[in-house]
A and B are shown apart, each in its own frame.
Chain A
Amino acid sequence: MKLINAAVHLLEKLGYKVYIFIAIFVYTIAFSTAEIMIYQSFRIFTWDLGIFNQAFWNTLHGKFLYYTSEIGVYTKTGCFLAAHFSPTILLALPLYAIYPTGENLLIISTLIVAIGALPIYEIANFFLKNEKAAATIGILYLLHPSLQGVTLSGFSPEPFAVTLFAFILYYLIKVDLKKLALALPLGLMTHEASAPVIAAIGVYGMLQHRSVKSKGFQASLIVLATSIPYFFFAHYMRLFFGWTGRSSLWHEWAVVGANSVSELPLKIILNPIGALNALASDWTAKLLYMILLLLPVLFIPLLGLKGLIPATPYLSISLLSTYRLYYSLEGHYGAFIAPFIFLGFIHGLTKLKGINNMKISVVKLSAFAFLITLIVFATMLPTVYSQYQVFNPNDEHNSIIKSFISRIPQNASVLTQSNIFPHISNRPNAYTIAPPTWSYEYMLVDKEILANLSRQNIEYVLLDFAAEPPYSFAASFIYTEFIFPNIGRYALINAKDGVVLFRLNEHA
């Protein structure tokens, strides 16, 4: 009875916020389940997941954030902090230690993304003074297509970034300086690319609080002033941890003439025609991206442009790039924009609410947006999921891969393609290559990696020629560039349904 009373009391105290907690719980369960299903069928976008499973596993075993797949490419030392200065990800380490697997990382990242609904609810409630509408907006946030991209991309620094951006915003709006002092460094340390976004949050905060004398304005100024030098500090830290200095292999801003984000502002000024060309390239996809970002919130953020200020750094970066993942909803890059779409939405709603002669119910408008989101969600999600064929797993084939993995001793060195890699990356000497079809430059890098690995005695090579196209190409590439030139050194020990396991000959 006491327990029931306590529960009732808690529910009363939480009010509409309880729906947010339920939504977080449901979201985490639903998306974790879907992701684990994709993971178990060796189909998930596994490049990052493999990296973090290996980096975390090695950290627990004495090698700090050590991973192998980008040694010589972005990192000289094998430390992940050379590729991206993201120490905040270490917050997940204690949870990972409980059950150190790829599945656990998927659950952790989904939970982190879902928690973002809480500050969004608080921000909505702060501006709209309406718990019901705030709860709807919080749930709406979880259903936004850009957030699905972050979630379905698995574990990476971006899930931390998206949630911490929302918390920084909330603490800045509420002027909760103690909590802001905690969230700000954590947010900055998610990714070096978070610094410009947080700087823009500072600009937003200054416009929001207006009065120079107000604590909120001063705190915003500190946020802005901290973020700019931090951006350069993060680059220095990457060098400190062994960054090779190589810029991204995707050449995202080649049209503008920039090799990296930091070069972009100057290049835009020096080459405005190039910038316009970059903006115009693949413009239909970019337009669709913008529509899909704003449609679920009924384009209301356009009425609250102030809220979109923190979205401008990423929007500029993505729309000036020629790298499609930057302006599609599939990748985890939605992290740099999702909370601000909702900040704009909330500001837009506040504006509508303030117009006296317009009898618009904020709750009804939120509910309508909710309906639109559901339609977008229902239309888009099956197309996203169909590429993984999540509801049609080939159990027989998957069990063959699993049985082959079980034949590899835990301490043995292994080379495999990237969709199998997360399943064997819980060891320091697991290796993979990026699908060579990603780009010609990736193919050259893969060749270099395989040539280096040829000089080591990799004990096992596991390939799945029957995998989905990008991964089966990687399997073929590993065979032609690694096994075939070393054919005398490797014995085929088992093959079934396109899954082939090679072992280094004992005398090799």
Chain B
Amino acid sequence: MEKQKTSKKLVRILLVAVLAVNIALTVINLYLTVQFNQTLTNLRLQGKIPDSIVILTAKADDADLGKPAAYFIEEGMLKRTMHFGTLYAVIYVIMPHYGVVTVKLKSFNLTESKFLDQNKLNETEISYAYEKQSYVYVLAPGFNQINAQIHLKAKVPLDPENLPLKGESFQFSLGRLFLEAEAFDFETQNKTTSEFSSEIFITIDTLQ
């Protein structure tokens, strides 16, 4: 009987102790939550960028569109090739608000090359590989780094007389592609642009 009373007492003490510990932990938890929220608010205030400031810089690596994906042969001679490849660009944007950055192809400066058909230089074309693909990225307030992979397609008119011997392959610079990154701030509706460029290389391997 005495033993039973003691064990009951012990259980009660244990329950009270568990309850007390839980209350203490809850209070600590609440305190930490409040403190964390305060820190978050402070960080938000510190990180607030003035409305008018948008910093945008972009750069791109040289792009090698590689060997032809398609050969166009007329009267037994290689006249044109088509190449596909990826241009890697990095865009850094500091935004005061949410917005978007879009990457557009601006212009293409063709390099003089004996391998190109001089009469059809205006037929040289560089464009997005897939027409429906858009290079638009959502930006959050603060610092954004966008690693863009731009899939390109190039149509190249070749001068068959200057091409190397069959079975050989060689790489040459097709020209410099100019691109534009445009950041758009949803809130202020301001646009900021930055131009950047990339040297485009292709590889020709004449069919055996």
Are B134 and A465 closer than 8 Å at their CB atoms? no
Known contacts A495-B186, A496-B187, A500-B98, A392 near B33 by CB under 8 Å: yes
Q: Which residues of A contact B97 (CB under 8 A)?
A: 495, 497-498
- Is A294 in the interface zone, CB < 8 Å from B? no
The answer to whether A480 has its CB under 8 Å from any CB of chain B is yes
Q: Are B136 and A480 touching (Cβ within 8 A)?
A: yes
On chain A, the residues within 8 Å of B136 by CB distance are 479-480, 484
* Residues of chain A contacted by B140 (CB below 8 angstroms): 465-466, 498
Which of B33, B37, B100 is the one whose CB lies under 8 Å from A479? B100
* A88 interface contact, C-beta 8 A: no
Q: State the main secondary structure of chain B at its contact with A.
A: loop
Let me know if B134 and A492 touch, CB within 8 A.
Answer: no
Number of A-B contacts (CB under 8 A): 41
A475 in contact (CB, < 8 A): yes
Q: Does A15 contact B (CB under 8 A)?
A: no
CB distance from A471 to the nearest CB of B (A): 13
Interface residues on B, range: 10 to 19
Q: Is the interface of A mostly helix, strand, loop or mixed?
A: mixed
- Total interface residues on A, CB under 8 Å, equals 17
Is the C-beta of A218 less than 8 angstroms from some C-beta in chain B? no
> Looking at A492, A495, A496, which has the most chain B CB atoms within 10 Å of its CB?
A495
- B102: A residues at CB distance < 8 A: 484
Bound Cα distance A466, B136 (Å):
17
Inter-subunit contact B138/A479 (CB<8 Å): yes
Q: Which residues of B contact A245 (CB under 8 A)?
A: none
Q: Which residues on B sit within 8 Å (CB–CB) of A476?
A: 138
Residue numbers in A under 8 Å from B98 (CB-CB): 465-466, 495, 497-498, 500
Distance of B185 from chain A, by nearest CB (Å): 8
Bound state CA distance, A465 and B184, in angstroms?
14
Contact mask A470-503 → B, CB, 8 Å, 1/0? 0010011001100011000000100111101000
Q: Which residues of A contact B186 (CB under 8 A)?
A: 465, 492, 495, 498, 500
A476 to B140, CA, bound (A): 11
Give A residues with C-beta under 8 Å from B. 391-392, 465-466, 472, 475-476, 479-480, 484-485, 492, 495-498, 500
List the interface of chain B (C-beta within 8 A of A). Answer: 33, 37, 97-98, 100, 102, 132, 134, 136, 138, 140-141, 186-187, 189
